Structure 1
Amino acid sequence: MISKCLFPDVVTYNLLIGAACNIGRPDFALQLHNEMVQRGYEPDLITYTELVRGFCTRGKMKEAEELYAKILKSGLLNDHVPVQIIFNKYCKLEEPVRAFKFYQDWLESKKR
């Protein structure tokens, strides 16, 4: 893209990150995120939601929760979608206690 003088914006990066996650490459998606930040673009909720989804799909729950923590720290509007993705993955992994604890932590974060 850049060689053709087409410079990606946040929407373009979000699409590329989502595509990388869809093909099972959350590592490449994270690379795209880092490139996005280096170019001066601020990741938004969609960026982090796509990354959370990508890591959950691969079963990398620690990384998914770390990304969710970035959403909370960033001050972005915190909606239910990334929470639902993580919660559902814990349920599919048959870890109801972790799912419940994660849900409780989310409810507590909504009070702040």
Structure 2
Amino acid sequence: MEMKGLIPGVVTYNSILRKLCEAGNMKEANSLLNEMNDKKIEPDNVTCNTFINAYCKIGDMSSAWKFRNKMLEGGLVQDQFTYKALIHGFCKIKEMDKAKQLLFDMLDAGND
């Protein structure tokens, strides 16, 4: 793509990141995220939710939560996909109190 003079944007990166995350290649996905940063391509909600969902699926809630915090620090807002991934992740590791609190937060935010 770049050899033909086309510059990949956030949508292109999101597509590749999604496949890497689905395959469990988190190291490669994070490397690609660093490449985005180097090229000054800002992650969007799709980017963040892709990572949050991937970390939740493997039960790495610490990384999922850190990514969620970076998302909020970057001025993005949690949407229904963010909440649902986190709720499922906390349920997976049997932290029901955190899952319940997120559910209440989601309902309060109007993202049901």
TM-score by length of 2: 0.82
Query: CA RMSD for the aligned pairs?
Result: 2.3
Distance 2:82 2:76 in 1: 12
Structure 1: gaps (5+ residues): none
1:85 aligned partner: 85
2:13 aligned partner: 13
Does residue 1:42 correspond to 2:57, yes or no? no
Structure 2: gaps (5+ residues): none
2:75 aligned partner: 75
Moved segments of 4+, more than 6 Å: 105-110
How many residues are paired up? 110
Aligned-pair identity (%) = 32
Deviation at 1:92, TM superposition (A): 2.3
1:63 aligned partner: 63
| Aligned residue identity for 2:54 | G
TM-score by length of 1: 0.82
Deviation at 1:6, TM superposition (A): 3.7
Distance 1:77 1:96 in 2: 23
**Residues 20 and 105 (structure 1), Cα distance of their counterparts in 2 relative to 1, 3 Å cut:** same
Contact 1:53 1:64 in 2 (8 A): yes
Distance 1:96 1:106 in 2: 15
Distance 2:63 2:82 in 1: 13
Helix, strand or coil at the partner of 1:33: helix
Deviations 1:80-99 (A, max 9, x none): 21121011111122221232
Distance 1:81 1:107 in 2: 13
